[in-house]
């Protein structure tokens, strides 16, 4: 007791110590209150790195290689159909799974283009973008502590969604030497995994890799033997410059195929995507989640999106893909000359060059020189000392300027 009184007397005799002690106690109380106030499941989850660095790129004169979007306009036929739906007063709630007219054309597209059978309009759900559909799919499939296998590197939100749902992400390495395409080591880890679900993304964000059919056949063989679900994120399916797209749902029924209108049709802000699965129970569970969260996708946007499957829209998409390939070729030629990449990525609109040193520090140095990129580390352990460069939203001239600025930073820090 006397020791305690002595300590109190000492603290009070020095005002500056009293203030520091008071601030320490208040800070500790605030942290304790904060921990009690907010859900523990969010304590290790921050803002999406892509949105964070895209915000920093908004300064005048900055060449913006950050966000996963293009700078093309949405095809006119979609815009006009959306306006027409608004003019006709199609502004009410729709069915939770989306309007039947849209789900029917999606079903037809999946059958004719992706060779996915057994997914009529009742086995399709339309929602507010692919990200929410991935959330709904995982919400429907996993319980706390269930394992979800995720290739490393991969899109930042896969891990975050799994953690929000209290699942356990298991990262399986993709090697740069193999072009970030699954190899024998990947198959071995997947074979020995306890994962209930595997998330796969081809063409890939952040690497631009396109997985060949033989790779999917090996993955499907493992998934079948282990009774594993596959969530196939195919939002870049149309953006392929070399090779071809393969949908695992065409060979394996326990696949939830997820796609979006965002990338292919330059509709990132419209927020519309769809999911399909031959197992109707999965779609019904996803519909339950949707009915209790966002209710349904925006009505008039759904009506407009029907025209995304028209020949008029296809013509504009084909032209966009041609221009994106020109951008890829120019950017990759420059990056290869700088010794940052070995091969050209086959799809999407990303390049994933390797740099010397810390990717966050290098990204900051580039930003100081008016070039904005995303550090590779948020995409996984294999993303360390890498950068994600998106060429979807920049012109050929901006790519040239960006390459010169990147070269300058490398030379100054070599």
Q: For the segment 247-270, what is each residue's pLDDT rounded down to a tens digit?
A: 999 999 999 999 999 999 999 999
Residue identified by tokens 């086959």 is 346
Asked whether 124 and 284 are in contact (CB, 8 A), the reply is no
pLDDT tens digits, one per residue of 182-231: 999 999 999 999 999 999 999 999 999 999 999 999 999 999 999 999 99
Q: Which residue has the higher pLDDT, 414 or 291?
A: 291
Q: Which of the four pLDDT bands, split at 50, 70 and 90, describes residue 45?
A: confident
Beta strands 197-201 and 229-233, pairing class: parallel
Asked whether 274 and 283 are in contact (CB, 8 A), the reply is no
Structure tokens at 382: 């294999």
Order across the sheet with 124-127: list the strands.
124-127, 273-276, 255-260, 229-233, 197-201, 147-152, 168-173
Q: Does the pLDDT value for residue 349 go beyond 70?
A: yes
Distance, in Å, from the CA atom of 279 to the CA atom of 96, rounded to the nearest integer, reads: 18
Of 70, 48, 395, 92, which Cα lies nearest the Cα of 265?
70
What are the residue ranges spanned by the domains of the chain? 49-73+312-412, 76-310
What integer pLDDT is reported at residue 35 of this predicted model? 60
Percentage of residues in the chain with pLDDT exceeding 70?
Answer: 91
Compute the mean pLDDT over every residue in the chain, rounded to the nearest whole number.
93
Q: Does the pLDDT value for residue 29 go beyond 70?
A: no
Q: Does the pLDDT value for residue 107 go beyond 80?
A: yes
What integer pLDDT is reported at residue 5 of this predicted model? 47
Which whole number is the average pLDDT over 366-372?
96
- 76-310 has the same fold as 49-73+312-412: no
CB burial of 279-305 (b: ≥16 within 10 Å; e: otherwise) equals beebbebbbebbeeebebbbbbbbbbb
The CA–CA distances, whole Å, from 246 to 113, 129, 179, 210, 279 equal 10, 21, 17, 9, 20
Q: Which of the four pLDDT bands, split at 50, 70 and 90, describes residue 48?
A: confident
Domain 76-310 falls under CATH 3.40.50.10440: no
Q: Tell me the CATH architecture of domain 49-73+312-412.
A: Alpha-Beta Complex (3.90)
DSSP string for residues in 262-321: TTTTT-TTT--EEEE-S-HHHHHHHHHHHHTTT-S--HHHHHHHGGGGSHHHHHHHHHHH
Of 212, 211, 314, 311, which Cα lies nearest the Cα of 264?
314
| 3-state class (DSSP) for residue 350 | strand
Q: Which of the four pLDDT bands, split at 50, 70 and 90, describes residue 120?
A: very high
Asked whether 358 and 385 are in contact (CB, 8 A), the reply is yes
Which whole number is the average pLDDT over 143-159?
98
Beta strands 168-173 and 197-201, pairing class: unpaired
| 3-state class (DSSP) for residue 122 | helix
What integer pLDDT is reported at residue 225 of this predicted model? 98
Structure tokens at 188: 């071995």
Q: Does the pLDDT value for residue 300 go beyond 90?
A: yes
Q: Does the pLDDT value for residue 30 go beyond 80?
A: no
Q: Which residue has the higher pLDDT, 371 or 53?
A: 371
What integer pLDDT is reported at residue 354 of this predicted model? 97
Distance, in Å, from the CA atom of 208 to the CA atom of 151, rounded to the nearest integer, reads: 13
């Amino acid at each position: 007791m006397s020791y305690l009184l002595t300590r109190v007397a000492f603290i009070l005799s020095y005002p500056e110590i009293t203030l520091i002690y008071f601030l320490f106690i208040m800070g500790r109380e605030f942290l304790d209150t904060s921990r009690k106030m907010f859900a523990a499941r969010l304590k290790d989850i921050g803002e999406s790195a892509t949105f964070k660095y895209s915000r920093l790129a908004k300064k005048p004169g900055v060449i913006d290689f950050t966000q996963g979007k293009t700078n093309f306009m949405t095809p006119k036929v979609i815009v006009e159909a959306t306006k027409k739906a608004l003019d006709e007063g199609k502004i009410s709630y729709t069915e939770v799974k989306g309007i039947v007219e849209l789900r029917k054309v999606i079903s037809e597209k999946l059958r004719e283009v992706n060779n996915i059978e057994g997914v009529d309009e009742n086995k399709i759900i339309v929602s507010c973008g692919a990200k929410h559909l991935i959330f709904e799919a995982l919400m429907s499939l996993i319980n706390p502590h269930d394992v979800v296998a995720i290739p490393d590197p991969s899109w930042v939100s896969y891990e975050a969604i799994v953690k929000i749902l209290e699942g356990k992400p298991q990262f399986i390495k993709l090697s740069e030497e193999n072009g970030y395409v699954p190899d024998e080591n990947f198959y071995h880890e997947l074979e020995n995994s306890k994962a209930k679900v595997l998330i796969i993304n081809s063409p890939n964000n952040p690497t631009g890799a396109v997985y060949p059919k033989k790779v999917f056949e090996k993955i499907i063989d493992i998934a079948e033997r282990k009774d594993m679900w596959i969530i196939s994120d195919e939002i870049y399916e149309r953006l392929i410059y070399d090779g071809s797209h393969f949908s695992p749902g065409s060979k394996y029924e326990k696949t939830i195929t997820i796609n979006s209108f965002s990338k292919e049709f330059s509709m990132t802000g419209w927020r519309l995507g769809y999911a399909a699965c031959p197992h109707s129970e999965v779609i019904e569970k996803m519909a339950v989640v949707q009915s209790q969260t966002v209710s349904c996708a925006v009505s008039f946007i759904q009506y407009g999106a029907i025209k995304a499957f028209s020949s008029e829209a296809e013509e504009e998409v084909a032209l966009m893909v041609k221009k994106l390939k020109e951008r890829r070729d120019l950017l990759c030629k420059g990056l290869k000359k700088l010794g940052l990449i070995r091969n050209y990525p086959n799809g999407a609109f990303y390049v994933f060059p390797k740099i010397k040193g810390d990717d966050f520090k290098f990204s900051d140095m580039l930003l100081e020189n008016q070039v904005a990129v995303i550090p590779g580390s948020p995409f996984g352990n294999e993303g360390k000392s890498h950068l994600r460069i998106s060429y979807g939203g920049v012109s050929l001239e901006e790519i040239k300027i960006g390459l010169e600025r990147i070269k300058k930073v490398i030379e100054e820090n070599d």
